[in-house]
Amino acid sequence: MIAAHVARWVAANPLAPIEVDCATAVMLKILDGKCKMAAAEKIVMAHLYDAVRHLPGISLGEESHALIGRARGQDDEALKNFIYEQRVLAETVIGRPVMKAFKAMIRQRGLLAIDVPVEEDA
């Protein structure tokens, strides 16, 4: 249900390469434990990342995707700290205004407007 909603949203709202980087940076933030989004929004964002991770970004690519793949489902503090460092670097490269615009766009275009059971894995 959530994956289908996200897939339809991505088809209707194709992401530019910098926005793919933004989705990747949000996934890093979720994994480093610093994301302040509601649990349901984190689930939707994880699905967004999964839907666009194969698309080209500008700054974030295979190295970031491999790190995310390793970190999913792990609760290792050293790994979280490394992800945090990588995420801060990624957000610095992307830029705060671009990240804010991305987050505003996904809200405005209804990506997060779905009821999500919080028990579902992100």
pLDDT the model gives residue 86: 95
44-90 confidence digits (pLDDT tens): 999 999 999 999 999 998 999 999 999 998 888 999 999 999 999 99
pTM exceeds 0.85 for this model: yes
Give yes or no for residue 24 having a pLDDT over 90: yes
pLDDT the model gives residue 119: 59
Q: Where are the domains of the chain?
A: 2-108
**Structure token digits, residue 73:** 């489902």
Short-list 63, 69, 34, 33, CA closest to 49: 69
CA dist 26 and 115 (Å) reads 20
SS3 37: coil
**18, 105 Cβ separation under 8 angstroms:** no
pLDDT the model gives residue 122: 44
pLDDT the model gives residue 50: 97
